[in-house]
Amino acid sequence: SRNIRLAVIPGDGIGTEVVTEGLKVLEAVGTKVETTTYDLGAKRYHETGETLPDSVLDELRGYDAILLGAVGDPSVPPGVLERDLLLKLRFQLDHYVNLRPVKLFPGVETPLGKARPEDIDMIVVREGTEGLYAGTGGVMRRGTPHEIATQESLNTAHGVERVVRYAFEKAIGRPRKKLTLVHKTNVLTYAGDLWARIFDRVGLEYPDVETDYCHVDAASMFFVSQPERFDVIVTDNLFGDILTDIGAAIAGGIGLAASGNVNPDRTAPSMFEPVHGSAPDIAGKGKADPTATILSVAMLLEHLGLAQEAARVEQAVADDLVERLTGWAGRTTHEIGDDITARVAG
Ligand code: NAD
Ligand code: IPM
Ligand code: MN
């Protein structure tokens, strides 16, 4: 089989710990992988002042895919690594689809007591390059009682249409063929109107897809009260960020939630990462669950056309999760990684 050229950005905190396990599993799949590790993150920032030098960004463009752990550290001011490293990668590599499955595996405990795996099985298609993340806005009279801070949501017809189209394609490929637009059209009348019009217009091309609309506040409620309402969801950058942490919670916890920052046009490599952050509260203790990263590796394999390999990794995780009903307590990051690796290999 072919050789995958993979760039690895372990990042900060538990990012480095979970990526080690993800790579172990990837190696066990048996596909030839050539990895190059990049030391981007808090340490490099402190040593050199660099977050993501242009030369590194250009080099990253040459890989088949990127695996990222997490970035962010209490010793670095908020936003420096998040914006100038992580978001810069998503924006510059045109990751306009942030794909976040919310799926309850059999045997996994959910805070929604009686929910079954068939009730929680959705995909959130989060826009990845625009919205409130665009970074436009500004501050006046900073530090005074008259300070004014604005932060604008940028929405372009091009940007909205391409992610909406992707979501319709996703929906039509699933058994339920249902797509829900989540926004806040009752208040965000400019951006919401643009999203709603494009959603309706593109929907005309997909008569077999059942469409629905839900305000983001109500959607948050339905995530915990009636998750079975949802199949595929398409939403903007910030709503998708918040909804997918709720999604992680209902599907067994943030340690299980995988994601892909996808460039569907393949003009640059896509980047796969757990939904969670660097978790400074448990970093260095061997307590982080590497499962989200391992499932992100499965998404990476799928993206590279290795569907069978992806399925093997997902099955190994599913089998491990069933076992956790009895044998979970006390396993370290390495032990979970080893157990899943053994299943993939065996
Ligand atoms: P977080 O996801 O790092 O942690 C939230 C809580 O979940 C913590 O209690 C943590 O211990 C727990 N947790 C997270 N991952 C876990 C895992 N794999 N196994 C077990 N428990 C896990 O979110 P936060 O605390 O809001 O942010 C910490 C830092 O990470 C910040 O700097 C933030 O900006 C950054 N962050 C980065 C990313 C990313 O790189 N994609 C995502 C989210 C947050
Ligand atoms: C995530 C994170 C990031 C986001 C931050 C760290 C920029 O919360 O991947 O969900 O908001 O997208
Ligand atoms: Mn988030």
User: What is the CA(93)–ligand 2 centre distance, in A?
Assistant: 16
What is the pLDDT averaged over residues 294-318? 98
* Average pLDDT in the chain: 97
Distances from the Cα of 228 to the Cα of 133, 175, 194, 201, 315, angstroms: 29, 14, 27, 26, 23
Give this complex's ipTM.
0.99
Ligand 1: atom nearest CA of 279 is: 3
The predicted-structure confidence for 317-332, as pLDDT tens digits, reads as follows 999 999 887 756 689 9
Give the pLDDT band (50/70/90) at residue 281: very high
Q: Which residue has the tokens 């990668």?
A: 89
Domains in the chain and their CATH numbers?
Answer: 1-103+257-346 (3.40.718.10), 110-251 (3.40.718.10)
Distances from the Cα of 319 to the Cα of 23, 112, 202, 265, 314, angstroms: 19, 22, 39, 34, 9
pLDDT at residue 207 is higher than 70: yes
Pairwise CA distance, residues 128 & 163, whole Å: 9
Tell me the Cα Rg of the chain. 20
- Percentage of residues in the chain with pLDDT exceeding 90? 96
User: What is the CA(70)–ligand 2 centre distance, in A?
Assistant: 9
The predicted-structure confidence for 4-31, as pLDDT tens digits, reads as follows 999 999 999 999 999 999 999 999 999 9
Pairwise CA distance, residues 90 & 161, whole Å: 18
Distances from the Cα of 187 to the Cα of 138, 200, 213, angstroms: 22, 19, 15
- Does ligand 2 have an atom closer than 6 angstroms to the CB of 275? yes
Pairwise CA distance, residues 218 & 211, whole Å: 16
The predicted-structure confidence for 159-206, as pLDDT tens digits, reads as follows 999 999 999 999 999 999 999 999 999 999 999 999 999 999 999 999
Catalytic residues: 133, 184, 217, 241, 245
What is the pLDDT averaged over residues 286-307? 98
pLDDT at residue 124 is higher than 70: yes
Instruction: Write a three-state SS string for the chain.
Output: CCCEEEEEEEECCHHHHHHHHHHHHHHHHCCCEEEEECCCCHHHHHHHCCCCCHHHHHHHCCCCEEEEEECCCCCCCCCHHHHHHHHHHHHHCCCCEEEEEEECCCCCCCCCCCCCCCCCEEEEEEECCCEHHHCCEEEECCCCCCCEEEECCECCHHHHHHHHHHHHHHHHCCCCCEEEEEECCCCCHHHHHHHHHHHHHHHCCCCCCEEEEEEHHHHHHHHHHCHHHCCEEEECHHHHHHHHHHHHHHCCCHHHCEEEEECCCCCCCEEEEECCCCCCCCCCCCCCCCHHHHHHHHHHHHHCCCHHHHHHHHHHHHHHHHHHHHHCCCCCHHHHHHHHHHHHHC
Q: How far is CA 153 from the centre of its chain?
A: 20
Ligand found nearest the CA of 277: 1
- Does ligand 1 have an atom closer than 6 angstroms to the CB of 86? yes
* Top mutation candidate among 68, 87, 100 for ligand 2, by most atoms within 8 Å of CB: 87
- For residue 325, the model assigns a pLDDT of 75
Residues lining ligand 3 (ion), CB within 5 A? Answer: 241
